[in-house]
Amino acid sequence: MAEVREFALPDLGEGLTEATVVRWLVGVGEAIEIDQPVVEVETAKALVEVPCPYGGVVTAHQAQEGAEIPVGAPLVTVATGARANEAGSGGLRGAEASGGGGAPEPTAPELEHVGGSGNVLVGYGTSPAARRRPRVSRPLPGTPAGPGTGRDAPTGPPPRVPEVNGSGAPAGHGVPTTGPGAPDGPARPAVGAGVPHADGTPVRRGPVAVISPLVRRLAREHGIDLATLDGTGPDGLILRADVERAVRQPQAATERGTDTTGAQADGDGARRIPLRGLRATAAERLTRSRREIPDASCWVDADATELLALKRRMNAPLTHSAPTRSIGSPGAAEGGRERKPVSLLALLARICTAALSRFPELNAFVDTDAREIVLLPQVHLGFAAQTDRGLVVPVVHEAHTLDAEQLTERTAQLTEAARAGTLTPGQLTGGTFTLNNYGVFGVDGSTPIVNHPEAAMLGVGRIVRKPWVVGDELAVRDVVQLSLTFDHRVCDGGTAGGFLRHVADCVEHPGELLRTL
């Protein structure tokens, strides 16, 4: 006898209390393995594939795509046991049996694992198997639910939809829509087919012809309704180029009442942007920061000419080899080696870590319950990154242990992951100090809001050519404005000013860093 087990949305860690169902990775009636990802959800921090700790057959989805559910709410039900593939709304293998007969007995490989994995579901999964998705036939994403689906569905094989291969054509051995062997009920029209309008133009019917998760994600990030697109691939398959073309046509998006921010137009023409996901988290943190932290700001202009010259020298190719050494002597393999590039952000991050070692009060937080200021021994440096999904702050953990080359590599990796929407909760949390380079937007200064519960944030404006007094003469130099917003509970203006002045001195005279190495 099969046992139907209910799997609830697990605790995804880092204080997350809810998540939005983005898309189901398995359909009702499909056989799954232990720790196989079954659904993709969006939390306030990242997109996460959630694995199920049970093996068997999916009997019901407990939440619709687009629904926001709290941690602990039912997510999916799975029939486990020796005859699990007969428990749901018709097992996947039962649906593929020829002649409409009953489901065959599962073989050992099919249900090798039953029950739960016993692992704790935190973050991305419970085991390395959670990152492997078996290739199983399932209906095209977006297929309307019909007989044999839903939590109260009757038993029996559901109607099958021909699987679409990479070329857009039906994959081999698909169930015909008419004639012997066709499923019960009327034949489903081909993708893109439908009853024409009075003027003869066809009406799109059936599921959206998309097989690429990347295409769906791209459309979702830009607020594009896939049902409104005409695919240029085989048999009307929607390709990435089709979505990108729609993104480049904002007029069409506005006519649909949707733009790339997810805003919806109401009857009065006002646009309403849903406050959820990353936006909701940012709004909550900013509001809490303003409510709890008595912040203050100070700023200073600094001559960044020498810092930029240092960056150019560090990134210039080596034009000579090291002196000839005997084999086995130290440095024999160093001559002519190619150096890794160093970014300006990494140099500023290195300056921040050096300054925090001298002014540890700014690498701290206030424990309001204990009424204590907690000074932290490690510097986990966050940096602001603008993405299509909003502003995110990836964290370089143990930043004080990294050199400029390592910081460049780490920030580049995190920035790429942020823009791709693949940052993990661990990469977005745990920061102790934040560096905000808003100069990339072409502005000179700002008074940033402290990233709660941190104690301070350093802002860096654009670097512009300005007249500057050097010695007793006027010269044209590269000048940058630095601004520091800090929690006045952790330090006074003297400490904050000392920190900012040290940062400015290191920008103007990078050799000052040697004092703290």
For 198-213, what is each residue's pLDDT tens digit?
444 444 444 556 656 6
Other beta carbons within 10 Å of 200: 6
What percentage of the chain's residues is helix, strand, coil (to nearest 5)? 25, 25, 50
Minimal CA–CA distance to 432: which of 497, 347, 373, 371? 373
- Please write the tens of the pLDDT for every residue from 444-498: 988 889 999 999 999 999 999 999 999 899 999 999 999 999 999 999 999 999 9
Supply the residues annotated as catalytic.
488
- Give start and end residues of each alpha helix (H) in 42-126: 92-95
Query: Is residue 332's pLDDT more than 70?
Result: no
Joined tokens for residue 333: 């393999």
Note the Cα 224 to chain centre separation in Å: 18
pLDDT band at 337 (very low <50, low <70, confident <90, very high): low
Other beta carbons within 10 Å of 447: 14
Q: Which of the pair, 251 or 464, is modelled with greater confidence?
A: 464
pLDDT band at 298 (very low <50, low <70, confident <90, very high): very high
- Please write the tens of the pLDDT for every residue from 166-184: 333 333 333 333 333 444 4
Segment 431-455 mean pLDDT: 91
pLDDT at 7: 92
How many residues are there in the chain? 517
Return the bridge partners of 51, or none.
Answer: 37
| Stretch (H or E) spanning 508 | helix 493-508
Helix (H), strand (E) counts: the chain: 9, 21
Joined tokens for residue 217: 């994600």
State the Cα–Cα distance between residues 11 and 13, nearest whole angstrom: 5
Burial class (CB in 10 A: 0-12, 13-18, 19+), 375: middle
The pTM for the full model equals 0.53
Q: DSSP character for 439?
A: G
Q: DSSP character for 12?
A: -
SS3 358: helix
